[in-house]
Amino acid sequence: MSVKTGQVFVYRIARPSASKITEIINGKNQKRLNQTKIDGKIKETFQVPLSASTRKLATGLDREVDNPLKGEQINNPQFQFLATQDKALLQHLIEYKYNFEKGYLSSLPADINNKKHLESPSFYQTFRYKCNDGLTVLTLSNIDNLLAYYSMLEHHKFANSKKEWEAGKFPYADYYLAEMDETENEKYSKKQYKDKAKSELMLGKVADSDTQKKFVKLLIPQISKGRLTDAQAYNALSEGIDNNERYKDGEEFIVKFNRLCKLLQDAPGKTRFNALVLLQESINTYLVTDKGGTYTWVAKDVIIGASKEKAIDWIIDPNKADLVQELQEQVMSQKGKYELV
């Protein structure tokens, strides 16, 4: 049936506060949780919003979907029309599935001047759902959870996904929905990144010792001075992948590692990779200085780039081939002096 099944995870979006009460410290790792409240048992109650355009309750059930019941034998006379339609209202499919009367899930809002509404309100006129301060798990086989989910899709307080919230599509959202547990999803993604990096190191593009030593120069420049053995270069990269620490720019080791691997996939990428290596070797041998992001070839007093990317562009520029050849020769001469890998 075209009715949503499975589980949906509803995450509270943490908001910082001037009092710093959100910055709760978690255990020995001293990680700031940025939780919005101290008591995770606190629940916030919502009701189905009123649509400004239709002036009806935004239940999310007024959409037409492919009708899975077409051609089926339907004994309930209220819903026999479903056997002949290609499309059907989601409201009617859910009413039929859960043996409700047709119209039970009406989106008509309550009217205080209507005596019937006061004495016998419809389902949605009194329906409320609650969300935890942290994570709320909606099991969609539960009818209340299912109806809450469709209503959340229409509510401005709920982003349809973390990605859409981060893109600014739901500026008023206090929660976002996820198809799977975000914690497990993040663990899965991180493990994939780590496994990919390890496979490249052991059997892929970084399996040879020469390339490994170049990766050490680019990723762990603090240990690239001095002559590294093949084993030391491999171990340094392997430990870097396992620890996956963040650099000052906020990026993780594995992200940078995999980006370098991607450069080795084609000829233009390899050219850029070798330019990165030459630039780092030039810095290691004190031929090029990096001051405030500006790279200067000291001996010639030439600025080769006002940023790292521009310095790389300078090195791979065919018009600079003679100068680059001279720089390479100087690097080779100085490498023996400083015993660099």
- Write out pLDDT tens, residues 76-122: 999 999 999 999 999 999 999 999 999 999 999 988 788 887 788 88
**17 shares its domain with 129:** yes
* 3-state SS, one letter per residue, for 40-103: CCCEEEEECCECCCCCCECCCCCCEEECCCCCCCCCCHHHHHHHCCCEEEHHHHHHHHCCCCCC
User: Are 167 and 257 contained in the same domain?
Assistant: no
Structure tokens at 281: 């070797």
Is the confidence at residue 23, as pLDDT, over 80?
no
Judge if 143 and 254 occupy the same domain: no
Q: Could you report the per-residue pLDDT of 178-227, keeping only the tens digit for each?
A: 877 656 666 666 778 788 899 999 999 999 999 999 999 999 987 756 67
pLDDT the model gives residue 134 = 81
Tell me whether residue 1 is in a domain.
no
Centre a 10 Å sphere on the Cβ of residue 282 and count the other Cβ atoms it contains: 24
- Residues 136, 228, single domain; the answer is no
**Does residue 12 sit in the same domain as residue 116?**
yes
In a domain, 71, yes or no: yes
Predicted pLDDT of residue 313: 96
Query: Among the three residues 180, 210, 242, which one is the final residue of a domain in this structure?
Result: 180
Identity of the residue numbered 200: E
- Does one domain contain both 94 and 158? yes
Confidence of residue 62 (pLDDT cuts 50, 70, 90): very high
pLDDT average, residue stretch 47-72: 92
Average pLDDT score over the chain: 86
pLDDT of residue 24: 46
How many domains, in total, are found in the chain?
Answer: 2
Domain carrying residue 70: 7-180
Query: Are 248 and 288 in the same domain?
Result: yes
Could you tell me if residue 207 is inside a domain? Answer: yes
132, 261: one domain: no
The last residue of one of the domains, among 148, 180, 212, is 180
Is residue 221 domain-shared with residue 315, that is, in the same domain?
Answer: yes
The pLDDT of residue 246:
84
pLDDT-derived band at 1 (thresholds 50, 70, 90) equals: very low
Amino acid letter for position 271: T
Q: So what's the pLDDT on residue 133?
A: 82
Asked whether the predicted pLDDT for residue 16 surpasses 70, the reply is: no
Average pLDDT over every residue of 147-161: 94
Answer yes or no: is pLDDT of 17 > 80. Answer: no
Domain C-terminal end among 152, 180, 208: 180
175 shares a domain with 29: yes
Mean pLDDT of the region 162-191: 80
pLDDT at 179: 79
- Sorted by sequence, the CB contacts under 8 Å of residue 9 that are 6+ apart come out as 135, 136, 137, 138, 177, 178, 179, 180, 181, 182
Backbone angles phi, psi at 106, to 5 degrees: -60, 145
295-340 pLDDT per residue, tens = 999 999 999 999 999 999 999 999 999 999 999 999 998 877 765 5
CA distance 156 to 172: 6
Structural domain includes residue 2 = no
| pLDDT tens digit sequence for 221-275 | 877 566 788 999 999 999 999 998 888 877 889 989 999 999 999 999 999 999 9
Is the pLDDT assigned to residue 277 strictly greater than 90? yes
32 with 115, same domain: the answer is yes
Query: Quick one: pLDDT at residue 163?
Result: 85
16 vs 173: which has the higher pLDDT: 173
Query: Average pLDDT, stretch 166-183?
Result: 84
199/155 same-domain check: no
CA distance 89 to 251: 47
